[in-house]
Amino acid sequence: MSIDIDTARKVAKLARIRVEEAALPKLAEQLSGILGFMEQLNEVDVTGIEPMVSVTPMRLVRRADVVTDGNQQRAVLANAPDAREGFFAVPKVVE
């Protein structure tokens, strides 16, 4: 599977990583190399095999539906690049 420049641009967009136009050919080449390496997996007969979900077969543990934590506004916001009036602040989202 070869990745062209348009696909590389689209993947970067989906991943929310800005990639300059000039860097796209190199990125496409590297992604193609990595995906080419994965093509080996097509040699394996996987008929009737279930995709593995977890290493140890186990049911996800449930707990009582009760509050176990909270009232941590200061701690939650302590590392925010921009926190104001008890909230995370971001550039305007709604036009």
- Which residues of this protein are in contact with another protein, per CB under 8 A? 3, 7-8, 11-12, 14-19, 27, 30-31, 33-44, 46, 49-56, 58, 60-61, 63, 72, 75-76, 78-82, 88, 90-93
Residue 21 Cβ vs another protein, minimum distance, rounded to whole Å: 13
Residue 65 Cβ vs another protein, minimum distance, rounded to whole Å: 15
Judged by beta carbon, residue 5 or residue 35, the one nearer another protein is 35
Indicate the SS3 state at residue 20: coil
d(CA 29, CA 61): 43
How buried is 34 (Cβ within 10 angstroms: 0-12 exposed, 13-18 middle, 19+ buried)? exposed
Alpha-carbon distances, residue 48 vs 42, 61, 67 (angstroms): 15, 28, 43
Residue 19 Cβ vs another protein, minimum distance, rounded to whole Å: 7
